[in-house]
Amino acid sequence: MKPIPDFRSKDFLLAHMREIMDFYHPICLNEEDGGYYNEYRDDGFITDRKTQHLVSTTRFIFNYATAAVLFERPDFAEAAAHGVRYLDEVHRDPEHGGYYWLMRGRDAVDATKHCYGHAFVLLAYATAMKAGIPGTGARVSQTWDLLENRFWEPDRELYKDEVSRDWGATSPYRGQNANMHMTEAMLAAYEATGEIRYLDRAETLARRICVELAANTQDVVWEHYRQDWSVDWDYNKDDPKHLFRPYGYQPGHMTEWTKLLLILERYRPQDWLLPKALLLYETALAKSADLEFGGMHYSYGPEGKLYDLDKYHWVHCETIAAAAALAGRTGRERYWQDYDRLWRYSWRHLIDHEYGCWFRILSPDGVKQSDIKSPSGKTDYHPFGACYEILRVLGEAQ
C-alpha cells in the first residue's frame, strides 16, 4: 500500500482526482453509440458495451466538465460535450419530453421518467455550462421548465419521484433522495447562472426535507414517503440492499445533507442551517460507526437496529466532505480529526492502489464484494465530487 499522504493538502486532492480521471479517460468514451461505457471491472476492463444509464451519462458529464475547468484540459471539455450530445440526442424523449432512464445503445429499454435522474440532468447541464459547453445554458433553463411542469408539486413544495413516459401515470411513491439531489442540482444551477429562482428552490427543498418532514422522523432525514408525504416506515423493509431505495435511515444521506446545507449557507445564511447540519452529521456518525473494524455501516431502522452493515464507498466520500465542510465552517479541529480518520479507513480499504478509483462496497470487515468496480451509475462521481468540494472549503477551487 502507498504511504498515507496528507489528506488535507491541495496536492493530494488534485492528484486523487487526476487518478480517478485516468481510470476512465479515454476508455469510457463510446464512439460507436455516443455517450460513455458504464460498467468496469477492477482493472478497467469494460464488461458491458451497450447499457447506458441516465445517472451514468450525467455523472460522467459532471466529472468531465468539472475536471475541464480545474485542470484546464480542453480534451476533458470535449469529452463532456460528447456526453451532452448523447444526453440531448439519445436520452431525451423527442415525443413526450424528459429523459429516458435506461438505454441499450441508442434504444430506450426503460423509458420511465425518474426525478432522481432528472436532478442529475440539471446538474450535468449546469456543470457543463460552467465549463463553457455551448448550448447548455439554454438546457438549464429548459430543464427547470420541465421540472416545474412535470415533477413539481406546489401544494407540497417537493418533487414527485416517478412518472410514465407519456406523463400519464404517476407512482404513489415519494422520497427524499430525489429531492436531495435536486437541491444539489439547484445549487449548481444557481452557481452557473446567478438566477435566484434556483437558490430559492434549493432553500425550499432543504427546509421541507430537513426541518418540516424530519420533525416527524426523529428530527433527521427519513427516506420513504407515501403519495401524501406521510411517512412510510415499512417501505422496502424486506429489501434493505435495494440499489436506489434501501430501507431505513441512511447515514450517508444525512452527511450528504450536511454538505449541501453548508453550501446553501454560503449563499443564503439562515440560523437553522448550521444546527441542522451538525445534528445530521453527529447522528449519522453515532448510529453508523463501526468500532470494531472502522468505517461506517450503511443503514439502520427507527428502533436503532442496523439493517445493512456493509461499507459503501459513497457513504465515506460524502462524510469526508461533510467533515471538511464542518471543519471549515466551525474551525473545530475535531471535524478535521474525523476527516483524517475516515480518509485513513478509505485509503486502507476502499481505494484501489493497484488500478485506481474506489471499490463500490465492502463487507463489514473490509472485504470487497465484487470485482465490478464501477457498475452503471457509479462513475466515481462521489469521490471526485467530494474532493472538489473539499478544495472549495480550502479555498483552492471555485
Catalytic residues: 253, 382
CB 3 within 8 A of CB 344: no
Number of CB atoms found within 10 A of residue 43's CB? 12
What is the amino acid identity at position 119? Answer: A
Contacts of 324 (CB under 8 A, 6+ apart): 335, 336, 339, 389, 390, 393, 394
What's the distance, Cα to Cα, between the start and end of the chain in Å? 32
| Displacement of CA 146 from its chain's centroid (Å) | 21
The C-alpha torsion from 358 through 4 and 390 to 117, rounded to 10°, is 0
d(CA 145, CA 118): 12
Q: CA 232 to CA 253: how far, in whole Å?
A: 17
**Cell (9 digits) for 346:** 478509505
Residue where the block lists cell 471555485:
398
Contact 152, 205 (CB under 8 A): no
